[in-house]
Amino acid sequence: MEATRNEALEAWMDEHGYSSNSLAEAVNRAHERLTGRPGGLDGSSIRGWKAGKVRWPKSAQRAALEDVSGLPATALGFVPRGRTPSAPAPPQEDLDMKRRHLVGGIAAAAAAAAAPGTVGPRRIGMSDVQRLQRRFAEIIASDHRYGGQLGIEQQAAALADEALNLQSAGSATQRVRNNLYACAASFRSSAMWAAIDGRRYADAKAHMREAQALAEMSGDQEIKFRIWSHAGTMFRHIGRPAEAFAANDVARNLHITRRDPMFASLGLARQGAIYGAAHDRTGARRAFGQAEDALERADPHAYRPMWLLAFYDQAELHSLALSANLSLGDYPTAEFHAHRCLSILRPHMRRSHAITTTRLAHAQLAQGDIEAATATAMKVPTDAATQHARVSRMLQEFGAALRARAPRSSTAQTWTEHTRDAWKATA
């Protein structure tokens, strides 16, 4: 039988700018990271995948591909052995419509399963909630590795729908229903953050509205804090400090910040970053001092949600202080916080490492240290430099500032050649 082209994989590669060779390299790196053994793929291997000659890659290759894409292999058009291939994947512009129809179909099927005359409604319990929470942990891990990718946003949004579908799939206690709403709000907040990180702000606002409604239904203070704190960050990124303050104040006024100093510290640190964007030096200094004090008071053994433990610590506080001082034009202090952040940043925070390194390069360039700044900027990994929207934008701004400061220098020429080679490698 003639092989059917894997159009879903082709569409995903086109959307994310992968050639066959560059995807093979990315999957090989993930394979080695996951298994400790080098991957053996090359461009022809990927072309075989696209041509449909390989319907179900080996398990380690699938795991590596899923690590790179943030999507399950089935979502990329691969078919487990023993199953009949589905129809060719629809064009990218039809994906949202397809998801809506799919969600509606699942809900209808769930309602039919619970109708009189059938075997009876399924009992939804905390085991279902725990399964969703494990998926949430996977989303968080993908975000810290890659950040801002459309695939992460779409996967998180689909999982939010899955959590909501369980509400109509059977009977459940009120505790379970509240937890399901909290799960759905958590996934929506991750979709929102991926959109913010990828500079897709209109999508981020849509996710924010859904997340806020779900969080209210859950009654979960922790996820309410996350959503409103993300909203403050979003408005800061798009240059609207008044709205950023208002959103962050909602988070900071939740009683969770009075119960746990770590939440209070994060709210204050993000407030400090907003003060920086608003060019309020006194407000920023005061907020970061209070954030530092609150973090020192936080009980290191207290229970906290996984999403908070995964990223907030002294390194993140330094990262936010770095951002604020760059905005304030205090470049020596910004450089100090950058070095402190990088020295204690946890290894899994790959996205944060790339952002901090890029900001450090900006701080050094602004102080006239052209060679050191360029050397720093060249340390940013190619995948982050070319595929992460925030990092790409900051590096473009770095290049423009470098050429303005030293237009005919050998350093500027070195940077131009470096960026050209980096983009060529991912073409």
Q: What is the pLDDT of residues 263-294, one digit of tens each?
A: 999 999 999 999 999 999 999 999 999 999 99
Q: What pLDDT, on a 0 to 100 scale, did the predictor assign at position 126?
A: 86
Rounded Cα distance, 293 and 58, in Å = 51
- Give the sign of the dihedral formed by CA 288, CA 289, CA 290, CA 295: positive
Tens of pLDDT along the chain (427 residues) come to: 556 888 888 887 876 778 888 888 888 888 877 777 788 899 899 999 999 888 888 888 888 888 787 778 888 888 876 554 444 434 444 444 444 443 444 344 334 434 444 444 678 888 888 899 888 888 888 887 777 788 889 999 999 999 999 888 878 888 889 999 999 999 999 999 999 998 899 999 999 999 999 999 999 999 999 999 999 999 999 999 999 999 999 999 999 999 999 999 999 999 999 999 999 999 999 999 999 999 999 998 899 998 999 899 999 999 999 999 999 999 999 999 999 999 999 888 888 999 999 999 999 999 999 999 999 999 999 888 888 888 999 999 999 999 999 988 999 999 999 988 777 655 5
- HSE toward the beta carbon, residue 386, CA cutoff 13 A: 17
* Two structure tokens written together for 316: 């993140």
Domain-by-domain residue ranges, the chain?
7-78, 120-219
Q: What pLDDT, on a 0 to 100 scale, did the predictor assign at position 95?
A: 41
Q: Indicate the length of the chain as a whole number.
A: 427
Rounded Cα distance, 101 and 285, in Å = 50
3-state secondary structure of 123: strand
* Burial tier of 282 (Cβ tally within 10 Å: 0-12, 13-18, 19+): exposed
3-state secondary structure of 147: coil
To the nearest whole percent, how much of the chain has pLDDT over 90?
53
Q: What pLDDT, on a 0 to 100 scale, did the predictor assign at position 79?
A: 85
* Two structure tokens written together for 31: 């394979």
Rounded Cα distance, 261 and 370, in Å = 41
Q: Which amino acid is at 288?
A: F
The residues, any chain, with a CB within 8 Å of residue 364's CB and separated by 6 or more, are 331, 335, 372, 373, 376
